[in-house]
Structure 1
């Protein structure tokens, strides 16, 4: 039995999230149907995390076990010919049987994009939240800096979160300007349900002058969702990358560096 790891990108607009669920079209269902068509196997793929309805991915990762003898170098091409156009497999490679795309992950990076133009960019409007009024980006960046480090992010997750704890580590977080686009990049060991979107919604209040940058620390320390701002729209969010150590160095089951499944 082989264990194959795959990197996939998708436009989340037409999906009810990544993970399979009773209702609505999902990325996982489409991929599993393609594998079934290709190999005849009923396989359940293991995603590095879940993305919510409308959220996109440049570099989602999943793995699956298969008895197929299809050469690894052929998997991406073979699956892409059987997948809808809003899903594209970017790469596939063999990993040890012990490898688990979620538990073996070390770091994940998300990007949230805002369109600051007077009018929305028609070619980017599906991937950026349009905010035509002026934002204090310097204040937003100052507020964002308070979130770097290991913290309890209860204030920045949905009240519907079912995780046993809300402690996560943010390794780096920053803003980057690209023309009329403002991108927030955030890298951590894991993310809670709606965490990046709540952070972005709260930072928009900072940018609008409704909150001060230092209020981000007060909100963080308060450990209450009621203290934070609104949840930003999903279409501005992108899972950029999932990073791993060398999977061939794994000699025992991974210790869940990302200890709870992502729900962004």
Structure 2
């Protein structure tokens, strides 16, 4: 019965997702939009909300019934929410507490209090029984287990801990400026270089490379774009300089959950 209702909810949410106001609008903007909607459509929306409310009450009662029978379920959310890489590890940890697994979709165009009511009630009960930090603590363990299980993976830059991979940086933010400044110390602007004018778009050179756990670098891929066509005669000069810069730098291997990993490193440098 519960899963039948969940299926109905997914269908309803999909329809509402296509008909309601798009995500990212402020409350005042949404209200202004609503004021422009014909009355018959407002009535239809109110009807949908009443139906959602009735479904929510049914889901809540079903959750309360399952809780009395000591059946707990943790839900992984899909949609406009944080997505985790360690769900498999999380599931195994939760099974130690006899907590089942479910999935639910989150829609930012549906009132949060009217969607996933079964899942919300279950989460409240889990927090009540095991503490509000219980799920977060398990997730931290799961994330570390994921890395331990995938030590040979090449991690994306954003999957890694926020520590700088450029030597001598004092903090993570330094990474995004210091390597750029140092690059131009070895790659001087040639005489005749056409500099960017105030209203011109920026010219840039970028690189993507693999930084291994031992600090070595491979798979360097360089792209370059000059807005001033005359600067393309310096393409080979800057490409060579950037490659030399990358190979001669003692990069700091990345870490994910404190464990050293191989990672992708992207660099982007804008010309004056």
Decide which structure has greater strand share. Answer: 1
**Which structure has more RCO (C-alpha within 8 Å, separation ≥ 6)?**
1
Pick the structure with more helix per residue: 2
TM band (smaller chain): under 0.3
After TM superposition, the score normalised by the length of structure 2 is: 0.24
TM-score for both structures, normalised by structure 1: 0.24
